[in-house]
Amino acid sequence: MKKPFFFLLLISYLFTYSVSAQISVTMNISYPAPTYLSDWNNSKAGLVTVVLNSPRQQESILVKFRTQLQNSNGTLIAASKDATARVYTIPAGATSYTLDKALQLDNLQFFDGSIINKIQTSGKLPADNYTLCIELLNSLNDISLTKLPVCRPFVQINYQLPFLLLPNDKVWLDATIAQSLITFRWSSLVPMNKEGIVYRLQVFEVLDGQNSMQALRSNQPILETQVKGTTQYFWQPGLNFNDATGHVFIWTVQTLDAKGLPVSSNDENNQARSEPRVFGVCDHLKHDKGDSGEGCANGRKL
């Protein structure tokens, strides 16, 4: 006979406490939002502050965080599991938690198969506008202690890859000049990544009987270097260009993030490689049209 009375008393206490105690929650997400999902699991992702205004200043309450993630269409793509959410003791006054404590990435369940596949292959959320919502639950009965979830938007950026500028596409360079120096130049990543990026420049020689894309896919690069803090590179080839056959090259720039992995972009291969460009070096240029070289004297085409 005592047990029903005890449970009624407990429910009455919880209801009275939730009415008399005022709880507010605020959330801030770092800008820019972490690129990798795993980086949401550290203290730099953001901050959650819970303020408990209790008439009994010495009291505290046991709570859980409920988390939900929506995409730009408002579709729920992930949610935390209430049953396995971590329990926190909230004292009277203001208490701050790093966002990972509320998010509890290991307790987050994703529902969208395409997003799950993207995370498994790249470790990132697909580029989109997202909304992260949290609310506070009473740990004893999972009843919400906040009138509405607290939600904040964030963006996962799809970067515009650099455009290759110099050497111009399908242009022959004079071997006399190229022997000493070839200048490579490209545009910056858009928007700029504040976490720091590295440009990986690769140059491949196109051999006789190959087309340029075959060379890019199968040959070893004759130049491979990483460029940081600038969008140009000066190459001293050290190759013998003093022959009549001419040399054809294809080059590209791969943009890597601070972890050394390709940035998120529209590159269908997810390699963040700029569209390649082709150029040639010839010791016997044709200048019939008054430009830098319409072709090589041996008739080889770009």
Instruction: Give average pLDDT by consecutive 10-residue segment, the chain, 302 residues.
Output: 40 38 88 88 90 74 94 94 94 92 92 89 89 93 89 91 94 87 94 85 91 92 94 88 79 93 78 92 62 58 75
**Domains in the chain, number:** 2
**Final residue of a structural domain among 156, 190, 210:** 156
Q: Which of 140, 156, 172 is the last residue of a domain?
A: 156
Cis peptide before 167 (omega within 30 of 0): yes
CA distance 288 to 4: 102
Could you tell me if 281 and 251 are in contact, meaning their C-beta atoms sit under 8 angstroms apart? no
SS3 9: helix
103/38 same-domain check: yes
- Residue 46 sits in which domain range? 2-156
Structure confidence at residue 1 (pLDDT) = 44
pLDDT at residue 57 in the model: 58
CA 219/CA 208 separation, integer angstroms: 12
Residue 217 lies in a domain: yes
Please name which of 57, 142, 152 lies closest in space to residue 99, comparing C-alpha atoms: 152
Of the candidates 49, 55, 62, the residue with the CA atom closest to the CA atom of residue 91: 62
Same domain, 171 and 92: no
Structural domain includes residue 302:
no
Of 113, 131, 156, the residue that ends a domain is: 156
Give the residue carrying structure tokens 């395409």: 114
> 145 with 190, same domain?
no
> Which residues, in sequence order, are CB contacts of 86 under 8 Å at separation 6+?
64, 65, 101, 104, 107
Nearest-angstrom CA–CA distance, 238 and 269: 33
- Answer yes or no: pTM beyond 0.75: no
| Of 28, 29, 107, 36, nearest in space to 65 by CA | 107
Characterize 51-86 residue by residue with b for buried, 16 or more Cβ atoms within 10 angstroms of its Cβ, and e for exposed.
Answer: ebebeeeeeebebbbbbbbbbeeeeebbbbeeeebe
CB 223 within 8 A of CB 204: no
> Are both 142 and 201 inside the same structural domain?
no
Residue 153 dihedral angles phi and psi, to the nearest 5°? -85, 155
Question: Residue 171: beta bridge partners?
Answer: 279
CA 281 vs CA 180, 268, 287, 290, 300: distances in Å: 12, 31, 14, 17, 11
Distance in angstroms (rounded) separating the CA atoms of residues 231 and 107: 42
Question: What pLDDT does residue 60 have?
Answer: 83
Residues 196 and 127 occupy one common structural domain: no
Query: Helix or strand or coil: residue 282?
Result: strand
- Tell me if 280 sits within 8 A of 172, measured CB to CB: yes
